[in-house]
Amino acid sequence: MKLFRLDSPGMDVAFSDDEFALFDSLGEGFIMDYSEHEILADRWVELEGVSEIEDISGIDACVMHSRLFLSSRCETLFPVLRQYGELLPFTIKGVRYWSFNCLRKCNDVVSSKTKRNSSGCLLSLSFEGTDANDGELWVTNLDNYTGLYCTESFKNRCEEAGLRGVAFKAEGDWL
C-alpha cells in the first residue's frame, strides 16, 4: 500500500498574524491541545483567518502544520474526514472555510526505516505495515505533529474531486 504526506508548497494560511496570542485567548491549554491534535470543537469559536495569498478563490485545500484547510468545494470529503477528526469553521475575507484537526494518531513506525541525524532531527519515517494502514489519515508525534499522512485511497478521493492546492509526497520524499 502506498502512503503519502500531504503538502502545499508556497501557501500560507493562518488564523491570525499572532496565532499564539489568539489561541491563548481561547483558554488555558488551548495552544498545547491544538499543537498535539487534541479535541478542540468544544472550545472552538469561528475565527477570521488571514492568507498571504491575495486571491485564494482558486484554492480548494491546503496543508499548514499538519492542518488541512478546506473550502466548500471539499464538502464531498467531509464524511471521510469526520471519521478521523473534526472540522473547525473559520472565515477568510468573508468566505467560510474549515480546518481539519486530525485526531487519529499513529506512532507505530518501521524502526529500520526511521532515521534521525546526530542532533535527533527526523530524516526518514515509514509506516509501512503498521496500524496506519487501518485508516486513511493520521498524524504522528514522531515528527512533532508537523505532517498529515494519508493512504492512496484518500489521495485518490482528492484527485477524483479535482481539488486544487494539495500535493501528495510519496513515502521516501517526506522530510
Summarised one tens digit per residue, pLDDT across range 62-104 is 777 788 888 888 899 999 999 999 998 888 777 888 889 999 9
| pTM of the full structure | 0.81
Q: Which domain holds residue 159?
A: 3-170
Q: Give the DSSP per-residue string, 66-87.
A: TEEEE-GGGGGGHHHHHHHEEE
* 3-class secondary structure, 4: strand
User: Does residue 150 fall inside a structural domain?
Assistant: yes
Residue 17 lies inside a defined structural domain of this protein:
yes
Cross-strand partners of 6: 168
So what's the pLDDT on residue 154?
93
Confirm whether 74 is domain-assigned: yes
For 125, the 3-state DSSP assignment is coil
**Spans of the chain, pLDDT less than 70:** 1, 9-32, 49-59, 109-113, 120-123, 128-133, 172-175
Per the structure, the count of domains in the chain is 1
Do the domain assignments include residue 175?
no
- Domain annotation covers residue 100: yes
- The pLDDT value given to residue 137: 92
